[in-house]
Amino acid sequence: MAKLGTIILAVGLIGLSACADKAETRRVLAGADSAAGLSLIRTHGCAVCHAIPGVAWPRGRTGGSLEGVGARPMIAGRLPNQPAVMAAFVRDAPSLLPDTGMPPLSLSEAEARDIAAYLYTLDDD
């Protein structure tokens, strides 16, 4: 009986974590405009360093592809992938990770939120 209890508990926990994952992938930035974000990505030269779905050229390699970035659990492997963190990262990555190769970019807070909204449309890894 103890074994059965353990199995039931384990199945229950798997169920719970599945729900948590679903909630976590809904990453929404209220009021942000993902289409404007894509335009800003084009005009700010992000693609010089990144391959980005939606941007045909250039497709830089320095920073890695951003395909599926919206579904990754971490930003740059070290920060939780949450909307506010993503917006702060695209605007001024070195303020969060002083040793990062991602440069600070001259973006307003609203522009960074629009860009983050676009990045969260890239969620099919």
Q: Which two tokens stand for residue 76?
A: 């740059």
The correct pick among 32, 87, 90, 122 for binding ligand HEC (CB under 6 A) is: 90
Segment near ligand HEC (CB under 6 A); pick from 3-11, 15-23, 26-34, 44-52: 44-52
Q: Select from 48, 82, 40 the least CA-distant residue to 64.
A: 48
CA distance linking residue 12 with residue 40, whole number of Å: 44
The correct pick among 12, 73, 94, 101 for binding ligand HEC (CB under 6 A) is: 101
Handedness of CA 105, 106, 112, 114 (dihedral sign): negative
The correct pick among 36, 55, 71, 97 for binding ligand HEC (CB under 6 A) is: 97
Query: In one letter, which amino acid is 38?
Result: L
List residues near ligand HEC by CB under 6 A. Answer: 41, 44-46, 48-50, 62-64, 66, 69, 72, 75-76, 90, 97, 100-103, 105, 115, 119
